[in-house]
Amino acid sequence: MTILKKISLAVLSILLIIDINLIVFAISVNETILNPEFVEYELEKFHAYAKIKEITFRNFEKNGVFVKIINESITEEWIKTRSRNLIYNFFSYLKSEDDRINLSVSTSEVKRNIHDNIRKDVTNPVYADYMENELRNFPDEVDLSAYLENDIKGTLNDLQRAVNYFYLVFYLLIAIAVVIPILGIIITRNLKSVIRFIGNSAFMGGLISYGTGILTIDMLSRKFQIGEMPGTIPDDIVRGILGDIFEPVKIYGLILLLSGAILMILSFFINNKRNN
């Protein structure tokens, strides 16, 4: 193989390593931050629905009959179901699957529960009639998007455009990952060199991805432990979420690392009759 071909192959290898790492990070983002199932899993994992209910009623009068009825009527299961709908509708909008964001919340189940609890807990018939009359005036569905300010709506539009650009770049990176090995084949016309070239790129790309995942989680954990990243969310929850976000980076990095090693070993068992 000539010096020029070796230099060209080295340049292509560097580009492929960079491209592989960017693809790994893009896939990880798609499977975590942009995945409603991941968000739902994290909420379930850290018992968020119970915490949402607790925070909602924390500042209310503990012994008030009305608050007691509302607290008993709004169950964790209802919060979970409604949250799931909102999460999936939100991501459908971000990914341009829907033209407008749908943040409607059905209150029919809660209204039925309140009605039953009024009959059970309110002994004063006048007060019970008053509460039921107020309940009838409450809509069966609430559209939370109607309460969004224009600035928030503008931010959501910007997020939608950013997600569209993200997927455009993602597909471009995949196309580049296909083109670069083809260029390597054209340059070398040598099966042994091509397999070693792809294997080396995959190995190095996987090593960088796996190392980045490990080091990032370790670095963030250390910062939380020494209090450099203050916030209202408990540190253990933030560390857990970040660890889950970077977990795919580690997994795909390890897969690439092993695949690259196998290809490089395989290249030693290939004999080419033609050398370029």
Determine the pLDDT at residue 275. Answer: 44
Q: What is the mean pLDDT of residues 48-75?
A: 78
Sign of CA pseudo-dihedral 256, 261, 266, 267: positive
Determine the pLDDT at residue 63. Answer: 56
**What's the Cα-to-Cα distance from 265 to each of 111, 135, 202, 274, rounded to whole Å?**
67, 72, 13, 20
Determine the pLDDT at residue 234. Answer: 67
Helix (H) or strand (E) holding 158: helix 150-188
Specify the amino acid at residue 213. Answer: G
Residue 206: count of CB within 10 angstroms of its CB = 24
Mean pLDDT, rounded, of the chain: 86
Q: How far is CA 226 from the centre of its chain?
A: 27
**What's the Cα-to-Cα distance from 226 to each of 15, 111, 229, 234, 244, rounded to whole Å?**
38, 47, 8, 14, 21
pLDDT at position 105 over 50: yes
d(CA 226, CA 30): 31
Residue 210: count of CB within 10 angstroms of its CB = 20
Q: What is the phi/psi pair of residue 100, to 5°?
A: -130, 155
How sure is the predictor about 269, in pLDDT bands with cuts at 50, 70 and 90? confident
pLDDT at position 224 over 80: no
pLDDT in tens, 180-200: 999 988 888 888 888 989 999
pLDDT at position 68 over 60: yes
Determine the pLDDT at residue 276. Answer: 45
Q: What is the mean pLDDT of residues 91-117?
A: 89
Query: What pTM was computed for the model?
Result: 0.82
d(CA 183, CA 173): 15
3 state SS of 141: strand
CB proximity list for 177: less than 8 A, separation 6 or greater: 16, 19, 20, 23
Percent of residues, the chain, with pLDDT higher than 70: 91
Determine the pLDDT at residue 50. Answer: 87
pLDDT in tens, 10-61: 899 999 999 999 999 999 999 999 999 999 999 998 888 888 888 777 766 6
Determine the pLDDT at residue 87. Answer: 94
Q: What is the mean pLDDT of residues 71-81?
A: 88
How sure is the predictor about 91, in pLDDT bands with cuts at 50, 70 and 90? very high
pLDDT in tens, 118-148: 888 777 788 788 888 888 888 889 988 888 8
The conformation of residue 146, written as its DSSP 8-state character, comes to G
d(CA 98, CA 58): 36
CB proximity list for 36: less than 8 A, separation 6 or greater: 87, 88, 90, 91
